[in-house]
A and B are shown apart, each in its own frame.
Chain A
Amino acid sequence: MLKIFLAFVRKETFHILRDTRTLVILFGMPIALVLIFGYTISNEFKGASIAIVDEARDALSAELIAHLTASGHFELVAQPPDMAGMEKAFQTGEVKLGIVIPAGFEQSFFREKRAAVQLLADATEPNYATTLTNYATQMITAFQQEQGRVEVLPYQVGVHIQMLYNPTLVGAYNFIPGVVALILMLICAMMTSLTIAREKETGTMDLLLVSPLSPMVILLGKVTPYVVLSFVNAVIVFLLGYLVFDVPVRGSIVLLLVLCLLYLMVALGLGVLISTLAATQQTAMMTSLFTLLMPTMILSGFIFPIASMPTALQYAAHIIPAKYFIEIEKNIMLKGAGWEAVQFSSLVLVAMMLFLFAAAWRNFKVVYD
C-alpha cells in the first residue's frame, strides 16, 4: 500500500515540476505578496503634504509651524492666505492635512490660557486622514506642553500610552500572519481542488477509480505533495517576515508549525470538497477564488478589523478558518503565548477539519450515479 502511495506521490510531483510556470507562481507569489504588503500597507508616513493658514502671524504661530515641519513627517507645501485657498489646495489633492491658526493665537495662549487650532483632513482616504490628525494632535500637544511648561497646572491627569507587543506599531506584525493565512489557503485549497478537477476533466480520474486503488489512497496521494509545498511556503514567509521585516516568533516555533499544519488540513479539506463539487478546473478555480480568497481577505481580520464590522459580518467571520489561524499566529509570534492561549482557536480548527473531511469524503464519488 505504501509503495502504491509513493508511486502516486511521485507522479504528482512530476506534474508539479513539469509545470514551471505554476511553480514560479507558487513560490514567487508568497514572496511578492510579502514584499508588496510590506512596503505599501503601512501606517507610518513621511513627508505628508500639509497647508497652513496662519491668521495669527505672530511669534508663537511661527514657532508652532517650525515645530510641525521640523519632524520631517510633515512637509509644508502651501500657505494659502485664507480658507478659500485652503479648499482649493484640498481639491487639487495637493495637500492631505490643513492647519488653521486663528488670529491672536499667541495672545489667547498666554493671556486667556486657551487657544484653538483647527485641523482639516482629506477624509476621502479615511485611514490616512485619521493617522495624520492623530499625529498632528500629538505634536501640537507636545508643543503646548513645551511652551507652557512654566505654568504649573493645579491638577493634571497624565495619560501614558503603551502599545503592547508592537510598541512601534510596525505594520508587518499584522500582515505577515495575514499573508501566511492567505497563501496557505490559496495554495493548499486552490491547488488541491484544481489538481483533482484536472483528473476529472482529462478522464484520468475514471482510470484511477477503475483501478484497485482505494479512494483514500487516491486522495492522499494527490494532496500530499501540495501539503508539503504549502508548508515550505509558510516557512519561507515566516523567514521573510523575520529577516526583512523583523517580525519575531516569541513563542514556541514547534507549536506554531504544528498549528500551521492543522490549518493546512482545513484548507485541504476545503480544496477536496470544492473539487468534489466542480467538474472542471475552471469551475474549481472560480469557486476557490470566490469562496476562499475573498472571505479570507475581507472577513479574517487581516485587512479590516473584525471588531468594527457590522454584527452580521462579525458572525460570518466566525466561520472563516483564517480568522482563527491569524489569532493563533499573533498569539504565538507576537505575544509569545503558549498552548493555553491558542487552545480554543485550535479546537475550532480541529472541528472544522473533521467536518470538512467528512463532507469531502461523503461527496467524493467513487461510483457515478
Chain B
Amino acid sequence: MTAASQQPAITATGLTKKFGDFTAVDAITFSVAQGEVFGFLGANGAGKTTAIKMLIGLSHPTAGSATVAGFDIATQREQVKENIGYMSQKFSLYEDLSVLQNINFYGGIYGLSRRQIKDKSAEIIERLQLEAHATKVVGSLPLGWKQRLAFAVAGVHDPQIIFMDEPTGGVDPVTRRRFWEMIYAAAEVGTTIFVTTHYMDEAEYCNRISIMVAGKIAALGSPRQLKDDYEAASMDEVFLKLVRD
C-alpha cells in the first residue's frame, strides 16, 4: 500500500450540530480507514442522519471539523462531492423512470461519457440480474431490488466513499443479507462504506461500528471488541446496556 492510501477516508473532530438550544450532534470524533465498512448505529433521533448530512455537505456544522476523501467539508465541498456517493432512506430513484433511464441520468449528472454510461449500465444490470426489467419503471420492482439498484446507482461514478442512510428499511433479513453482499463486494475493491442503521444484525456485518446515544458517540470498535467490552452475547445487548446507562 502506498502512503496516500493510508490516509483515512473520513475524519471527524469535535463535529457538532445545534438546532437552537438542542444539540443534535455533540462533538463527535472518529476516523474511518479506506476500504472499511463503518456502521453508524443509534436509536431514531440519536443524531445519525444529522451527522451524515454534515459529512456529505447537506448541512453546515455548528462547530468542529471533518474531512472526507482528504478534503475539508467546510472549504472544499466541490471536491468532497466529486468523491462520494449517497443513498438516502428514501432510496432516491425516480419511480416513474425505467431502470436504464435512472442509471443514464445519474451517470449523466456525474459527467460520465456515453460510452462509460453504457458499460456501467450493462455491468449493473448483469450484477443485479435485472436483464428482464431494464426497461421497466423502477416503481414496479420489489423493494429489495430497488434498494440494491439504488446502491449500484450511488456508486455509478466509482466514488471513493459511499454514504448510506438507513438503506435497508422495510425489508426482511434475507433481502438485507443480499444487500450486504453487494456492500462487501464494493468494499473488496477499496470503496469505503459509511452506513447508518438501527438493525443490530446489520451491525455485525460491519468492520467497525460506532454507537450514538443522544448526540454523542457512546462506544466505538469492532463488533467483537464491543461485545467483549460490555460482556454481551449480541450487539442487541451491547446497545441496550449503553442506552440504559
Contact = CB atoms under 8 A, between A and B. Distances in A.
Interface of A: 3-4, 6-8, 10-11, 14-15, 18-19, 202-204, 206-213, 367-369
Given A3-B108, A210-B57, A369-B60, 15 more contacts: A11-B108, A14-B97, A203-B89, A204-B93, A204-B94, A206-B58, A206-B88, A208-B109, A209-B58, A210-B81, A212-B81, A212-B109, A367-B57, A367-B59, A367-B60
Given A18-B137, A206-B86, A210-B84, A7 B108 contact: yes
A204 B105 CA distance: 12
B58 A15 contact: no
Contacts of B78: 212
B127 interface: no
Nearest to B54: A367
Contact of A15 (B88, B90, B94, B107): B94
B109 A8 contact: yes
Interface string B221-243: 00000000000000000000000
Contacts of A212: 78, 81-82, 109-111
A213 B109 CA distance: 7
A367 B111 CA distance: 22
Interface string B202-234: 000000000000000000000000000000000
Nearest to B82: A212
A206 B108 CA distance: 17
A211 B111 CA distance: 10
Contact of B111 (A3, A14, A368, A369): A3
A4 B104 CA distance: 11
Contacts of B86: 206-207, 210
B53 interface: yes
A206 B111 CA distance: 18
Q: Identify which of A4, A203, A207 gathers the most chain B CB atoms within 10 Å of its CB.
A: A207
A367 B109 contact: no
Interface of B: 53, 56-60, 78, 81-82, 84, 86, 88-97, 101, 104-111, 137
B92 A18 contact: no
Q: Identify which of B84, B93, B108 gathers the most chain A CB atoms within 10 Å of its CB.
A: B108
B94 A11 contact: yes
A4 B95 CA distance: 21
Contacts of A207: 86, 88, 92, 106
Contacts of B89: 203
A367 B59 CA distance: 5
12 contacts: A7-B107, A7-B109, A202-B92, A202-B94, A202-B95, A204-B92, A204-B93, A207-B92, A211-B110, A212-B81, A212-B111, A367-B60
A15 to B, nearest CB: 6
A222 B134 CA distance: 24
A7 B88 contact: no
Contacts of A202: 90, 92, 94-95
A19 B137 CA distance: 12
Contacts of B105: 7-8, 10-11
B108 A8 contact: yes
Contacts of B109: 4, 7-8, 208, 211-213
Contacts of A210: 56-58, 81, 84, 86
Nearest to B94: A204
Contacts of B97: 11, 14-15, 18
A203 B88 contact: yes
B53 to A, nearest CB: 7
Contacts of B104: 7, 10-11
Contacts of B111: 3-4, 212
B59 A203 contact: no
A363 to B, nearest CB: 16
A209 B88 CA distance: 12
A368 B53 contact: yes
A369 to B, nearest CB: 6
A207 B56 CA distance: 10
Contacts of A206: 58, 86, 88, 92
Nearest to B86: A210
A223 B60 CA distance: 28
A8 B97 CA distance: 13
B114 to A, nearest CB: 9
Contacts of B90: 202-204
Contacts of A213: 109
A220 to B, nearest CB: 13
Contacts of B53: 368
B180 to A, nearest CB: 22
A335 to B, nearest CB: 46
Q: Which 3 residue pairs across A and B have the least CB separation, nearest first?
A: A7-B108, A203-B90, A11-B105
Contacts of B107: 7
